[in-house]
Amino acid sequence: MTLYDVVLKNLKHNIGKYAIYIASLVFSVLIYFTFVSLQYNEQISEAFGRDDKMGPLLAVVSVLLAVFMIVFVWYSNAFFITNRKQEIGLYSLVGGTKKEIGRMLFYENMCLCLLALGIGIGLGQLFSTFFSMILLKVMGISLVVHFSINLGAIVQTAIVFGVIMLIASLHGYLLVYRFRLIELFQAKHRMQQQWKPSYLLAVLAVGLVGAAYWSLLHAYDSESWSEHFGRNMTLSLIVLVAGTYLLFHTGSSFFVELWQRRKKAYYRWKNLLTLTQLKSRLKSNGFLLTVISVLNGMTLVAFGFAYTMYFNTMQTLGDHVPYSYQMDVQSVEMNNEITKVLHENKDHPVLFDETFDYLMVPGFAEGLDTIPGGYFYYGETFALLPVSTYNLLAKRLGRNEMNPLDAGETVMLGRNFIGSQHEEENVGRTVVLTSEEGEFSFQVTGNRIESLFSYDVQPSVLIVDNGMYERLKKGNAVMMTRVVTVDKQLEAAELTEALRAVIESGEVDYQGAHRGFYSFTDSYRTAQSIYGLLVFVFGFMGLVFLIATGSVIYFKTLTEAAEDRRRYEILRKIGLSRRKVKQVIARQTSLLFLLPLLVGIAHSCVILGSLSKVMDIQFVYPVSICIAVYTCLYWVYYKMTVATANKLVNP
Amino acid sequence: MEIVVEAKGVHKVFGTKTNLVPVLEGVDVTVHEGEFVGIMGPSGAGKTTLLNILATIDQPTSGSIRIDGTEITGMRDEPLSEFRRSNLGFIFQDYNLLDSLTIRENIMLPLAFANQSYVTTDQKVNEIAEKLGIAPILERYPYETSGGQKQRTAAARAIIHNPKLVLADEPTGALDSKASMDLLTAFQLMNREYRTTILMVTHDAFAASFCDRVIFMKDGRLFTELVKGDKDRKWFFDQLVTTLSSLGGGRYDVI
């Protein structure tokens, strides 16, 4: 019998005990491989076509995933080896040098890793097909995904994981050197330290979290936030994380202590058993629980945000793209051709079809509170429309018409894509517009949050009196544009293609701020593919974090359960029924799962609440769905953990 | 006779700076080759700590320990492992067998680390197993055997590589009287047939009565020593019980 026989026999015999470890390795490989194979999938890259916004994003995410996997594999490896202290001690006693033992574990680990790599890639093949279908679905691309084996993805996964696993195995090898023999035999008998709760730190913990919450929730009205959003956000998050850590590390034992003082509740057997242990557990796991809470919070914020953007953009796209089609007027022939195409089309009758002109006027915006982005984008000019044109369009779009304006008055129009706007923005301020006749000063008497164009980048629009419009025409660019809205515009992709063909057949030679062709269906598709990809990526990451945090708690609970085996045996011997022992286990485990989940939800709600006001987006509905899904998955993990722990200590 | 263990002025202090607990306060022990020595004493006397230090599992705070002429205090990890491999065997109260290996493989484990050939290994295992009465269960796994069989397996494992010294910490602690008897008889046999030097910590006077000599400890020091000489075990047992009660552990500790 050689050492390698021992390694092999150990592997074969303990495969059940190693299952969790192998599973976590397989999971890491699976996630990574799935993602990489999406990157390599030819069908998907083809579906994206020219606008290759997916490549860089997926590349960044795959790096993030790899980093995350290193941490995860590292952690589970350390967990796995520490759990085998006794076995290592025995090898050491019968004369194994640390070098030999380390090498043994190293080989064993490499075997496991190779096994995991194989299984992970195999499963990943199936999953990647499934995930590509989801990806294409949320991006609104209809395509039948074929099962394909992707050599590039396999090679990349194998290399990345080969390196990660080599590092983890080396780490395990080095861990053996850190063990001292006497510790290996005394580990079980180490006493748990009892902690005196500190009022000060508990108050500080609550104070820090409270301060961060307060600051976040008042971000909307705050001067300092509107000027230094990034800085304040970072600061609040740091304070929040620090507060969370203190809350778990110190605060928790303090609150348990408070609970313990209520003797009546405390001496109920379940509470007694749960609380005494909980105090030291929460403290020693303070760091872990903080990390998990923060990860949970982050996941919920990221996914909630992405999902909301998706949800909201799709819902409110009509506000940003008010017409089915907008095109710059070119030749008369082309115009007629377009009209012909529009009227030949039976599925989508034309609801309105207007042609109007507007001016692009250079002006000075220094007098304004908030200078709209469109002003700078279009070379410090404003788009100018007369009241009459506005009222015509408003009637078509079902908006409120406008009362006539005085010569020196103007109404501003603009709608932010993201970000809240004040109703009375810039009202009472002045803008100066220039024409051949000189400079004209206008006072802003009203502000409307709406878009008047279907352009990708909206110019800042000013509505002026008809007479003033005529005067400003001199020396400024006059734009002619045609807007069309058809019935059932969302399904009008075919019509869009027909129109695009007409436009592209003509020669585009127009000196102006815009030219071309803007359609609702194109905008919708673009938005869907961008936000769909975001939702997918964040959803995927969220799933990874969820499973990872769940597994970490699972590991942790099982390690602790194994240590407490004797304790539970005593409980059973002094007459606690199996059912009740299980209840005690369930109670302890539930807190380990529930606390970080609740804290994570609370944090994410406050952060999203703050963002919701600043960005003027409603998060409630999509975020509720996220939280519900997240909680359900966590619950499954909880049930699994309790069942396994129970099997371990309560056979 | 050759001296196997020679410990001089062994001190051991546990605890942190503010709270120091002396466990051994200058212990001198000498064990000769082929001796079967017991260490007894009330709980907290420092028996197990002494054994751990002699076993190179723990380091003394001060003092010198020579095993088979080699000074082991301050030895580096690597040579220490080599030293353990060729010179020491261990038996613990909770057996410490690997569940994944059969009884035979468990016994062979020390030889696996010493890279010995199959044939000699197998013969040796068969021979020892025969002597210790575990030959019929060699192909079983530890969970298929009784506590007594497990402990005799541990004993076989402890002597398979002909160590200079076998250290046993409460080996009968988890065994019933029949299994204890079998194990101790096995120890005596090992001691006589292979001339294995055995050092055993126990609080059980019955177990200790199998020894040639018993060292008594109290509060981290050697208290007294009893030698069986050519008297029988019954007489020795009575002597041990008397000494133990004078040690102040109380009669309840003895029986």
**Residue (of A297, A199, A192, A214) closest to A246 by Cα position:** A199
Residue B197 — pLDDT band, cuts 50, 70, 90? very high
Q: How far is A4 from chain B (nearest CA, A)?
A: 9
- CB distance from A86 to chain B under 8 Å? yes
* Of residues B101, B108, B114, nearest to A95 (C-beta): B114
Query: What average pLDDT does the segment A635-648 reach?
Result: 86
- CB distance from B111 to chain A under 8 Å? yes
β-pairing verdict for B197-201 and B165-169: parallel
Question: What are the tens digits of pLDDT across the range B70-116?
Answer: 888 888 878 888 888 888 888 888 778 887 788 988 888 888 777 66
Highest mean pLDDT out of A204-213, A558-567, A614-623: A204-213
Among B residues 45-74, those touching chain A with beta carbons less than 8 Å apart: 52, 56-58
Is pLDDT of A561 > 80? no
| Separation of CA A626 from chain center | 11
User: Comparing A95-109, A454-468, B212-226, B240-254, which segment has the lowest mean pLDDT?
Assistant: B240-254
Radius of gyration of chain B (CA): 18
Q: How far is A121 from chain B (nearest CA, A)?
A: 29
The residue in chain B having the minimum alpha-carbon distance to the alpha carbon of residue A94 is B110
Contacts of B53 in chain A (CB under 8 A): none
Please indicate whether, in this complex, the C-beta atoms of A94 and B110 are within 8 angstroms of each other. Answer: yes
**How confident is the prediction for chain A on average, in pLDDT?**
78
Please indicate whether, in this complex, the C-beta atoms of A100 and B113 are within 8 angstroms of each other. Answer: yes
Query: Cα angle vertex A624, ends A621, A629, to 5°?
Result: 130
- CB distance from B109 to chain A under 8 Å? yes
Burial class of A531 by CB neighbour count within 10 A (0 to 12, 13 to 18, 19+):
buried
H or E element, residue B63? strand B62-67
* Contact present, A34 and A537 (Cβ < 8 Å): no
Residue B214 — pLDDT band, cuts 50, 70, 90? very high
Q: Which of B109, B111, B138 to mutate to test the interface with A (most CBs of A within 10 A)?
A: B109
Please indicate whether, in this complex, the C-beta atoms of B90 and A93 are within 8 angstroms of each other. Answer: yes
**What are A154's two structure tokens?**
């396999």
Is pLDDT of A595 > 60? yes
Contacts of A84 in chain B (CB under 8 A): none
- CB distance from B230 to chain A under 8 Å? no
Q: What is the pLDDT of residue A266?
A: 59
Q: What is the pLDDT of residue B200?
A: 92
Please indicate whether, in this complex, the C-beta atoms of B81 and A92 are within 8 angstroms of each other. Answer: yes
Q: What is the pLDDT of residue A27?
A: 82
CATH number at residue B81: 3.40.50.300
**What are A427's two structure tokens?**
């009202």
The residue in chain A having the minimum alpha-carbon distance to the alpha carbon of residue B167 is A93
Q: How many domains does chain B have?
A: 1
The residue in chain A having the minimum alpha-carbon distance to the alpha carbon of residue B97 is A90
**Residue (of A44, A29, A353, A320) closest to A165 by Cα position:** A29
Going by the DSSP 8-state scheme, the letter that residue A321 receives in this structure is S
> How far, in Å, CA of A170 to CA of A102, rounded?
9
Is pLDDT of B190 > 60? yes
Q: Which of A94, A176, A177, A179 to mutate to test the interface with B (most CBs of B within 10 A)?
A: A94
Is pLDDT of B38 > 90? yes
- CB distance from A10 to chain B under 8 Å? yes
Residue A511 — pLDDT band, cuts 50, 70, 90? very low
Query: What average pLDDT does the segment A334-358 reach?
Result: 83
> How far, in Å, CA of A9 to CA of A6, rounded?
5
Contacts of B121 in chain A (CB under 8 A): 1
Q: What is the pLDDT of residue B213?
A: 92
Question: What are the tens digits of pLDDT across the range B225-243?
Answer: 989 888 888 899 998 888 8
* Of residues A6, A12, A181, nearest to B57 (C-beta): A181
Query: What average pLDDT does the segment A39-60 reach?
Result: 67
**pTM summary value:** 0.67
The residue in chain A having the minimum alpha-carbon distance to the alpha carbon of residue B99 is A13
**Residue (of B27, B22, B24, B68) closest to B46 by Cα position:** B24
Q: What is the ipTM score, two decimals?
A: 0.76
**Residue (of A401, A368, A369) closest to A387 by Cα position:** A401
Residue A571 — pLDDT band, cuts 50, 70, 90? confident
* Of residues B52, B82, B109, nearest to A94 (C-beta): B109
Residue A190 — pLDDT band, cuts 50, 70, 90? very low
The residue in chain B having the minimum alpha-carbon distance to the alpha carbon of residue A2 is B112
**Residue (of A424, A470, A476, A461) closest to A446 by Cα position:** A424
Percent above pLDDT 70 for chain B: 94
Q: How far is B246 from chain A (nearest CA, A)?
A: 31
Sign of CA dihedral A259, A260, A262, A266: positive
β-pairing verdict for A438-448 and A409-413: parallel
For A55, residues 6+ apart whose C-beta sits below 8 A from its C-beta are A39, A45
Contacts of B100 in chain A (CB under 8 A): 9-10, 12-14
Is pLDDT of A65 > 50? yes
* Contact present, A358 and A479 (Cβ < 8 Å): yes
**What are A542's two structure tokens?**
């969220």
Question: What are the tens digits of pLDDT across the range B40-53?
Answer: 988 888 888 898 88
Query: What average pLDDT does the segment A94-120 reach?
Result: 84
Question: What are the tens digits of pLDDT across the range A407-458?
Answer: 888 888 877 766 667 777 777 788 888 887 788 888 888 888 888 888 777 8
Q: What is the pLDDT of residue B64?
A: 92
Q: How far is B112 from chain A (nearest CA, A)?
A: 5
Percent above pLDDT 70 for chain A: 88
- CB distance from B143 to chain A under 8 Å? no
Among A residues 90-149, those touching chain B with beta carbons less than 8 Å apart: 90-100
Going by the DSSP 8-state scheme, the letter that residue A445 receives in this structure is E
